Each structure stands twice: as C-alpha cells, then as structure tokens.
Amino acid sequence: MRILVFGAGPLGSLLAARLHQGGQHVTLLARGQRLADLRQYGIVLKNWTTKAEESIQVPLIGSLASEERFDLVLVVMRKNKALEVLPTLAANCSPLFLFLMNNAAGPDALTDALGKERVLTGFAAAAGYREGHKVVYINAEPEGPAEIYLGEPSREITQRLQLIAFELSKGHYLKPKITKMMDAWSKYHVALLFPAFATTLYLCSNDNYRMSCTRDAIVLAWRGIKEGYRVLRKLGVPVQPPAYKKFIWLPEPVMVALLRKALNNPRMEVGMVRHAEVIRDEIQQLNGEFLQLAEKSGVFIPTIRFLVAQFNNQAPALPDGSRSLKLDWSGIIIPLLILVLGGLILGLIF
C-alpha cells in the first residue's frame, strides 16, 4: 500500500517512521526547514524514557500534486491547519484520507470538501515534541504501542475500514482500534483536555508541577470538564470511551486528588505540556468548536467560559499554590448521611 503522511510534525514523523519500519511504502510530506532537516538527518526519533535514538530514512516530498495518487493519505496536523489544506487535499486524486487529529466539530467540514467516500477520521494516542531536528516521543515503542482509533463518519464498520486498520497494524508498535463512535470519542477527548484542562494549565504558566500544587487550578479544571461532559450528554452524545462514565460521578475532592496525581506524572511533560506550548492556535480552534456545541445544548458553562476568556486574553497566571475555592464535599457527605440514616433505620427495624 502506498501511504502518504501529510504533516511532518512530531506525530506525523513518528507514524511515518513506524509504518516504514513495518514494510509499508511510505512518503512523508514536509515543508521549509523541517523538509531540509529531514533531508539531512532523516527522521530522528529519541525515546523519552530510554533516551535511545534511531534515524529512519523515508521518501520525502515538499508538495502534493493533484495527479499524485496514494492508496491512503494520513493527515496528521492540528485541526486549524488541516482545515487550511482541505482545498489541496480535495484537488488530489487519492481515494482515501484518514484525518488523525483533535476534532470537536465532527466530520462535516472534511466530508463536504472531499466527499464522504474519501474520508475516515481518527486519533493517534502517541505524543512528542521537537528538540532541534529530533522528535522526542512516548508510545509507539516496545514498552507501549500507540493505539490508533479510527472510524467511518457513517459509524459503520466497513470493509475499507478493516483493511486500513490491518495495514496500519503492520507498523512497528502501532495498534489500530476500530470504533463506531469515533465522533463521540473525539468530542469527549476535546472536552477532557482543551476548554478546561489546557486553559488552566496555561494559567499555571504551562507547568504541570505548578498546577499540581495550585488547588484552585485543579478545581477549575475539574468543574470545567464536568460542564463539558454535561454539554455532550445534553446533545445525546454517548460517553466514549465508556470508562469515562465512572469518573463523571466521582466526588470533587476525589477527582482533585486524582488529577493532582496525574499532573505529577513525569510523562505529562510529553503528553501535554511540551505539546501545549506550541499549539495555542489549535487550542483556540477547538475551544471555539466546543463553545458552539455548548450554545447548541443550552447548558450553563460558567467555568469553561471563564477559562476560555482567560486563555484568549492571555491573563496572568494564578497565584502559585492558591486555594481560595472551596471544595464541593456534597458528593461525599450526602452519600455518607444516606448510609448513616439507612444504618439507623435498619438498627431500629432489627
């Protein structure tokens, strides 16, 4: 299968290298200085955990001609940048485009430009950042394969979807996962990470350790996440992945403790912090898309609106370690009172 990876950022470079190592006929599209670096050094991958480096040479192109046909084009770009290149993609004769990116607005803009018969959507669960000409990455490694979620805009499990998943599985340390709920999965992923979490991270100078010590930031993040989930549930979007359901109902003090622990995980540097430093434009795009969903739902989202406004206006950071917001203990106190009352009633009966 002839595959073009359209986008030579950290994730696109990583996927191109792993597919090439798996024997696929892969070409990588890059521009400017990135193209020059790739021509000189190849794709240089540096494992964040082990610090081991490897260099992979793949064929390169600097532009996509309309007559250049590939069996599959992987579009691995920020959402806002992907929207900008839709005319170029639409003019190309390749039959199938798989968009691997964050997306809260659904596939309509993609299918309107290219046609439903040429579009698949998905997300690659790997992360990385540029260190000069090198890509420092996590996942897509022997210790942890990168899951690649993919689905049809129609929510069907088609033969072509299964074929693409099979071809991607040939890549080293890649693990495709077909889902009927790709659009729902994407929406919940955005709700989890962008209108609330990424914005509060910026209010802590984009420092996960500072955020872990600033309870107000964690409280704001969790309340924003819950508002985002309420928006999606009101719109009838099924919770994806289903495991998220158990978190929605956890009491705020419990979730604040869990988020603090997650923020102290060193892998957060690669998975979120270093990535968030360079994608302010995409965060604004995704936040705008989610606010449109909120308007459609009619759900009251004061925390999200506050955080997005702070982010857009580049507000100063929260005071380090601030704890002015009171935790909501009702999720713990009320169940405890019910248990105590139930115990008293049972005691009186028996």
If phi over 0 gives left and psi between -120 and 50 gives alpha, with beta otherwise, what is residue 321? left
Please compute the mean of the pLDDT values over residues 145-166 and round it to a whole number: 97
The pLDDT value recorded for residue 337 is 45
Structural domain boundaries of the chain? Answer: 2-180, 188-333
Phi, psi of 148 (to 5 degrees): -115, 105
Lowest mean pLDDT among 218-227, 235-244, 287-296, 336-345: 336-345
Please compute the mean of the pLDDT values over residues 305-327 and round it to a whole number: 96
Please compute the mean of the pLDDT values over residues 66-93 and round it to a whole number: 98
The pLDDT value recorded for residue 335 is 52
Q: Which residue, among 87, 97, 95, 99, has the nearest Cα to 69 in the 3D structure? A: 95
How much of the chain exceeds pLDDT 90, in percent? Answer: 89
Q: Which residue, among 94, 83, 75, 67, has the nearest Cα to 29 in the 3D structure? A: 75
Q: Given a cut of 90, is residue 9 above it in pLDDT? A: yes
**CB atoms closer than 10 angstroms to residue 315:** 14
Provide the pLDDT confidence category of residue 243 given band limits of 50, 70 and 90: confident
Residue 95 structure tokens: 């039959």
- For residue 310, give every residue at least 6 positions away whose Cβ sits within 8 Å of its Cβ, in sequence order, or none: 199, 202, 203
Lowest mean pLDDT among 57-66, 233-242, 274-283, 285-294: 274-283
User: In this structure, which topology does domain 2-180 adopt according to CATH?
Assistant: Rossmann fold (3.40.50)
